[in-house]
Structure 1
């Protein structure tokens, strides 16, 4: 388990410098989008450290090789992962690009009695009812893997993964997110107003969602920090001030709690909360050197 934890640290996308999301690979009906890009991780300060650490961890390398040989997925060669959907519970499309050997993936799926395959055009889509909820997937010859709750979602995902979709029209908050950081490695956006039309919230969830029009977040490497910048657009100016105060209070409590522990006192290197009209902006910075020190400790535990 510790080996897999170290592997997860090494392959984490939050230290990556990402290429822009190709919006033709996202459904125009999407109310939420999450995009992670792994391509430039090796060029960042933390990425260089983690790559060097990986080279000195033969046991982890063996684990990676076993995953590749058994499942057809090479974690260190994954390029990007994108997910999107309307907001309907447990329904969406995931597109994994890079590091996929379609022949091995298909061979593994065919070896399992709990997985059924069906042809859709030139592709075989595999489905399974085992587990907490149904799942379907396929691996393409161009090194991509598509996930969804059933074969119809995966079939649509193949269409989008190949760049045949109509480019999604950017929401103003989504548009603003694209300019907050230079090459962010993680992006999330949700049109909460539209999500509410397809999701049944509980009473507390609806009371909160009623106050939020849309929100989003980007994470990237900037000036020696892992920088998180979030935008939240409220439904009215009247509710924006109390939400701003709630966010300020939460960060202040986090800073106070972290300051009482020498192991976490540097976790919040910087933070700022500002508001302009209905839009609240939150910036949080975590020191790269702090993160590297923590990663070193976790790696020592895993070997």
Structure 2
């Protein structure tokens, strides 16, 4: 199988290595020569280009599978919409006719629920933040450009909060220093270990239903308080302290929902390596200890 990855970063690189280990051919788009050299050293064929510049995409190869896993680089000059929505449209305009299947990594931020409700793939998507609206608009680009093509196969994976080695552990220093944490301590977090994202991508490539959306989260949503208490215990820090109710991103208007992964389990038959943070956090912290 020939795989093309757009966005060969934290998740994409791990998926690439999994496919390479199975004997597949993997190419990846990158914006600069330094990254191209690094990818080549890993056995990945680099293509230099930028999703925001359509003319730079003409060398994208035909692929049996396209994984679109672009993250947002805050140091770059482009907006999230430029990259997620317009960039995706540029890529699909160039390559969809010579791509067998698309797997697109979206986000559970498309759900705007704030009352701790359970959500799944059938729940209404009414984002309350710009990033959620951008992700939802990107999903619509796929459906509008590929949905009418009877030969096109695509799946959308809505990822919960990603954690793993060197990811989602930024609060470790704050916990060790005893700094108060922002956010509603009783609000729910929905998480997924990076290794389980890769497992889901591979399962989706093998048996995903065309046009289907999958919510990718672990088995048990956890309150922010319980998450940080667990993290504090693992690093030997004092119990976390939360400062006020706050407002804005981390306050009363914060997202607060519980994600249900039943379709992931039943339809894709994914066996999670880290179904809860009790096993996932120690594994993610391994490199810090």
* TM-score interval, normalised by the smaller of the two chains: under 0.3
Answer with 1 or 2: which has the greater Rg.
1
Higher strand share: 1
* TM-score scaled by length of structure 1: 0.24
